[in-house]
A and B are shown apart, each in its own frame.
Chain A
Amino acid sequence: MLELSEITKTFPGVRALDAARFDLLPGEVHALMGENGAGKSTLMKIIAGLFPPDAGTIRLDGAAVAFARPADATAAGIHTVFQELTVLGNLDVAQNLLIGREPARLGGAWLDRRALYAQARAILDDLGIALRPDARAGALSTGQRQIVEIARAVAQKPRVLILDEPTSSLGRNEEEILFALIARLRAAGTGIVYITHRMSEVFALADRITVLRDGRHILTDRADRLDRAALIRAMVGRDVSEARHAGADAHDDVALQVAGLRRGADVRGADLTLHRGEVLGLAGLMGAGRTELARLIAGIDAPDGGQMRLFGQPYAPRDVRAAMRAGLAYVSEDRKGLGVVLPLSVAENIALPSLRRLAPRGWVAPARVRAFAADWMARLGVRAAAPGVAVETLSGGNQQKVALAKWLATDPQVIVLDEPTRGVDVGAKAEIYALIRDLAARGCAVLVISSELPELLQLCDRIAVMARGRISGVVPAAQASEERVLTLAFAEDDEAAA
């Protein structure tokens, strides 16, 4: 039904797509894969009508089409769920769901509020989503906003639905909602373009897989004729080891001790011990309080109660600066909001937390900053034209590397990484894992929060599992399995229900 051929798109300095092709059949899930910067997002945005291709043709049901703006694609039945959430925080759920097509009389001059909430209620009920139509979207979690975003597209009965990394911010039960929706859409004949980095999802969901690399089409094949290794080879152009980390020796040197830490309903008495030279994973379901705990440790929020000790000293950071001075760095989950300053250059971003060291008397030497940043870009493999380009022009994975680089550059003794590989492709993931292991080997204490269990199993020495605001158990990675961790993650939920 949808066919793109010989699509070429050049941005200043980069050929994002080079004669790429892609096609979609009704009722199929077609996974689009590739490393960061491979051209997936560009291809998706061309289908969605955000910008036109420089060359090539798009055919919908055999007829050539040209979308000048997103509304044109929408009118043709093509809906997109973007990775950058477009849910508006100042509106409520119902207004978000029906934005641009609010029920109204007199050609939009008289909004029918009752119908708005009734329709929103119907959409939410129909899709099995437990959210209130009048809840303000700004108060929802990232995962819930993602669900609203998906519901908005699904409610418009799309002929083509593009999902860009839809699960990157979803918890497990929200994932199930999504997968059920996909099954329904597929049965109704909707063609689904599914962009993801998660192998397990691709093989569970996709009928066909297309791989792009450096803007070129590498392969398209049925999912059941491909395996993990073949896909990775196609994406990276080389073999990537997925071996599990062996698990280092026991460490006795306590770096961070958390005892009975509490804040509101999110963190309800968490105990945690992090050793020097260790990578400790923090697993848990969406809403278990992992990010909230990390924010307490990082000094972003103040705890209601409990104690922390850093290298034996009482540690109660008033703010992020105090935490930094104490030797602790926090790389946030939300790189758009907290991790990097998008309009600033890569070099400025990397240098930002290290300015005290780089410019002790307040004078910034641009050459020194550039050299400093270039060094870190090389170490992390940040793919950018130059240190001087704005971070907002980079792909998601490279932005994440910049966020990591800027904190690694402060030479922290304890580092808290919240979802360090979200939206990052396999090749870059392996690089980030190596970096994290290297940090630990040099004596840094690392706390990694991740919703991807295989990632934690592969990366960590020990895994602490959080459930309903408490640590429900700590397992050495060598003895951990997905089942064991999940059991702990659900443990207290069951107790509470009983």
Chain B
Amino acid sequence: MSAALRARTADLGLAIALIGLVTALMVLSPAFRDPSNLLGIGRQVAILGIAAAAMTFVILMGEIDLSVGAVASAAAVVTALALAQGYGVWAIPIAVAVGAAFGLLNGALVVGLGVPAFIATLVSFFIAQGVALTLTGGQTILFAAAWFRDLFATGVVLGQRTAFWWLLAVFVALGWLLARTRFGAQVRAIGGDAQSAAMLGLPVGRVRLIVFTMTGALMGLVGMILIARIGNARADGAIGLEFDAIAAAVIGGTRLGGGYGSIPRTALGVVLIGVLNNGLAIMNVDFNTQQVIKGALVVGVVLIDRWARGKGGPA
């Protein structure tokens, strides 16, 4: 089989896996095939989807961000406090600023001090957790702002929750940024070989800084959607999100180590995980078993991806 054909098959393989999974769940579970449940998946994957799209940029660039869950949690806590104390609309820029500040810290550590991203973002993870725990004192922060909840999660526009529209907006914006802009081309080049990119005169440091900061800012948005859905904030609200985001990006064919990946394929990975989570939960499969199945799925997709690339292709 030719390499190009195999690559097509791999793209198709993911879609076929998704269709197969959806069909199986529709047959097996009447609750799953209920239209309101199917529409609900779009809202459920909003948080994962935004994190995975940002993570695709980071991984594609040859880096990693382990701090996204903790940063989103910290932004959520700060925003809930701001809303509870009557800051009103100001809570929105505050959330984005908190996320962007952590992203900037990641970028500064990586670009300015040459700290490996794995370590730098682990540092941010701990700091963000510390901030969130200190602010909450271990308590759940309650707030009452119906407009805020409607704006970021619970409102309905054209039959879909606002959370879904935020997800769609991020997918479109980031997909366009990656595929159709010079900035996206630079991210891809840096992920291919950062040293070569630097020798070619590309602004490697600036691009890295922007990607980390952008990821942080998007975690501010994730934090807002998180608290808007449930109406309160906890210090550990989004912990673990980093691993789901990495998994979704990798299932979508983003290659750890950099250079390869796309937002539409990550979106496919997100939907696959979303459908799987929803289906397994609705069929009352217990949480631990769900985790095992998710793990097996990641391995399976990686193996198919490697097969599709062929033995002689790049690792």
B101 touches A (CB below 8 Å): no
Check B180 against A111 for contact (C-beta < 8 Å).
Answer: yes
Interface footprint category on B? 20 to 34
B265 touches A (CB below 8 Å): no
Bound CA–CA A450/B29 (angstroms): 66
Assuming the A-B contacts A70-B200, A90-B192, are A111 and B181 also in contact, with contact meaning beta carbons closer than 8 angstroms in the complex?
Answer: yes
B185 touches A (CB below 8 Å): yes
Check B181 against A86 for contact (C-beta < 8 Å).
Answer: no
Tell me which of A69, A84, A102 contacts B185 (CB under 8 A). Answer: A102
Bound CA–CA A91/B314 (angstroms): 12
In the complex, what residues of A have CB within 8 A of residue B181's CB? 104, 108-111
B260 touches A (CB below 8 Å): yes
Check A88 against B182 for contact (C-beta < 8 Å).
Answer: no
B291 touches A (CB below 8 Å): no
Check A89 against B259 for contact (C-beta < 8 Å).
Answer: yes
Check B182 against A111 for contact (C-beta < 8 Å).
Answer: yes
Can you name the residue of chain A whose Cβ is closest to the Cβ of B179? Answer: A111
Check B196 against A86 for contact (C-beta < 8 Å).
Answer: yes
Bound CA–CA A104/B195 (angstroms): 25
> How close is A57's CB to chain B, nearest CB, in angstroms?
23
A258 touches B (CB below 8 Å): no
Check B196 against A88 for contact (C-beta < 8 Å).
Answer: yes
Interface of A is mostly: loop
Per-position 1/0 for A80-115, Cβ under 8 A of B: 001011111111000100011010100011110100
B198 touches A (CB below 8 Å): yes
Bound CA–CA A121/B314 (angstroms): 26
> How close is A424's CB to chain B, nearest CB, in angstroms?
23
Tell me which of A70, A71, A86, A90 contacts B191 (CB under 8 A). Answer: A90
> How close is A393's CB to chain B, nearest CB, in angstroms?
15
In the complex, what residues of B have CB within 8 A of residue A90's CB? 188, 191-192, 258-260, 314
> How close is B249's CB to chain A, nearest CB, in angstroms?
16
Assuming the A-B contacts A104-B181, A108-B183, are A91 and B201 also in contact, with contact meaning beta carbons closer than 8 angstroms in the complex?
Answer: no
Tell me which of A84, A89, A108, A109 contacts B192 (CB under 8 A). Answer: A89
Check A74 against B201 for contact (C-beta < 8 Å).
Answer: yes
In the complex, what residues of A have CB within 8 A of residue B192's CB? 88-91
List residues 166-198 of chain B with CB under 8 A from any CB of chain A.
180-186, 188-189, 191-193, 195-198
List residues 407-465 of chain A with CB under 8 A from any CB of chain B.
none
In the complex, what residues of B have CB within 8 A of residue A352's CB? none
**Number of A residues with CB within 8 Å of any CB on chain B:** 26
Tell me which of B182, B197, B201, B314 contacts A102 (CB under 8 A). Answer: B182
B199 touches A (CB below 8 Å): yes
List residues 16-55 of chain B with CB under 8 A from any CB of chain A.
none
Bound CA–CA A71/B200 (angstroms): 8
A50 touches B (CB below 8 Å): yes
B3 touches A (CB below 8 Å): yes
> How close is B196's CB to chain A, nearest CB, in angstroms?
4
> How close is B55's CB to chain A, nearest CB, in angstroms?
18
In the complex, what residues of A have CB within 8 A of residue B191's CB? 90
Tell me which of A85, A99, A111 contacts B202 (CB under 8 A). Answer: A99
Interface centre among A86, A89, A110 (most CB of B within 10 A): A86
**Interface positions of A (Cβ within 8 A of B):** 50, 69-71, 74, 82, 84-91, 95, 99-100, 102, 104, 108-111, 113, 138-139
> Which 8 A-B pairs have CB atoms at the shortest separation, nearest pair first?
A108-B182, A90-B259, A86-B196, A88-B192, A71-B201, A90-B192, A70-B201, A86-B199
Task: Show 30 A/B contacts (Cβ-Cβ < 8 Å), sorted by A.
Answer: A70-B201, A71-B201, A74-B201, A82-B199, A84-B196, A85-B196, A86-B196, A88-B197, A89-B259, A90-B188, A90-B191, A90-B258, A90-B259, A91-B188, A91-B189, A95-B185, A95-B188, A95-B189, A99-B185, A99-B202, A100-B186, A100-B200, A100-B201, A100-B202, A102-B182, A102-B185, A108-B181, A110-B180, A111-B181, A138-B313
